[in-house]
Amino acid sequence: MKPLLVLSFLILFFASVPAMAETTAYDFTLTGIDGKPLPLAQFKGHPVLVVNTASECGYTLQYEGLEELYQAYKDKGLVVLGVPSNDFGAQEPGTAQEIATFCKINYGVTFPLAEKTVVKGSAADAFYVWAGEQAGPEGQPKWNFHKYLIGADGRFIGWFSTQAKPMGPKIKSAVEAALSSTK
């Protein structure tokens, strides 16, 4: 009789508890390059390509491709978000102002930038912990210019390695699919 009573109580208890909301990218806030909060919720309704960047990396030329991608798709709703990180080879030593100036002068970057952020390990920013969990071990950043694509609904879509070129077919087709799902 006692197990039946306990089981009945548990069924009633869990039936009355509202379902926990799914965590999305919109639940996280980075810090903008200007030092102000950068809530990812401000991008609701827009796919977002989040890229950990570095100014002194062999892949730094990808800033050019990221800006090209942003210009090609921003009017359709794409947001590219650069997240400078010094986690890989200490290749982002600059201050926020130095990073912003470097990106603007050398690559004409107009897409939003976050402040320098930890993207790996035990001190990783909460967004990167969440995205890494969504991506699994193979999809976690292993170097600069690792990319995460977030859907217009804030859900994780996928990841692209450092070597994936911003204007390459893999990223472009994923961005186009994400944009078409917002219509």
Q: State the catalytic residues.
A: 106
Contact predicate 87/109, CB 8 Å: no
Task: Please identify which residue in the block is written with the tokens 């926020």.
Answer: 96
Contact predicate 88/57, CB 8 Å: yes
Rounded to whole angstroms, the Cα distance separating 36 from 126 reads: 17
Nearest Cα neighbor of 119 from 80, 78, 91 is 91
Which pair of structure tokens corresponds to residue 109? 């970057």
Concatenated DSSP letters for 94-108?
S-HHHHHHHHHHHH-
